[in-house]
Amino acid sequence: MHQHPSPNSGPRKNGLTPEIIVIHYTAMQSAGAALQRLCDPVAEVSAHYLIDRQGRVTQMVPEEQRAWHAGQGEWHGQDDINSRSVGIELDNTGAHPFPEPQMAALERLIRAIMHRWDIPPQNVIGHSDMAPGRKQDPGPRFDWARLAMQGLAQPAAVTAHPAAPTADRFRARAKKAGFSAPVDDETLLRAVRLRFRPWATGPLAPEDLSVLG
Residue type, 127: H
Mean pLDDT of 170-180: 96
Break the chain into its structural domains and give their ranges. 2-149, 167-210
Euclidean distance between CA atoms 57 and 3, whole angstroms: 9
Quote the pLDDT of residue 2: 97
**Residue 161 confidence (pLDDT) above 80:** no
In angstroms, the Cα distances linking 113 to 61, 118, 128 are: 14, 8, 20
3-state secondary structure (DSSP) of residue 77: coil
With beta carbons less than 8 A apart as the criterion, state whether 153 and 144 touch.
yes
Give the model confidence (pLDDT) of 91-145 as tens digits.
Answer: 999 999 999 999 999 999 999 999 999 999 999 999 999 999 999 999 999 999 9
CATH of domain 2-149: 3.40.80.10
- The residue-averaged pLDDT of 163-177 equals 93
User: 96 CB contacts (<8 Å, ≥6 apart)?
Assistant: 141
SS (H, E, C) 100-117: HHHHHHHHHHHHHHHHHH
Q: What is the pLDDT of residues 32-51, one digit of tens each?
A: 999 999 999 999 999 999 99
Q: List the 57-59 sheet strands across, edge first.
A: 2-3, 57-59, 49-51, 85-90, 20-25, 124-126
Q: What is the pLDDT, as a whole number, of residue 151? A: 98
* Residue 63 is a catalytic residue: no
Q: What percentage of the chain carries pLDDT values higher than 90? A: 96
Residue 162 predicted with pLDDT over 80: no
163 has pLDDT over 80: no
Per-residue pLDDT for 75 more than 80?
yes
Q: What is the pLDDT of residue 25?
A: 98
Q: Average pLDDT for residues 175-204, to the nearest whole number?
A: 97
Query: Is residue 190 predicted with pLDDT exceeding 80?
Result: yes
pLDDT, position 43: 97
| Residue among 74, 89, 100, 186 flagged as catalytic | 89
- Cα(first)–Cα(last) distance of the chain, in Å? 37
pLDDT for 159 equals: 82
Q: Mean pLDDT score of the chain, rounded to an integer?
A: 96
Tell me the average pLDDT across 51-75: 98
Mean pLDDT (whole number) for 42-66: 98
Query: What pLDDT band is residue 160 in, cutting at 50, 70 and 90?
Result: confident
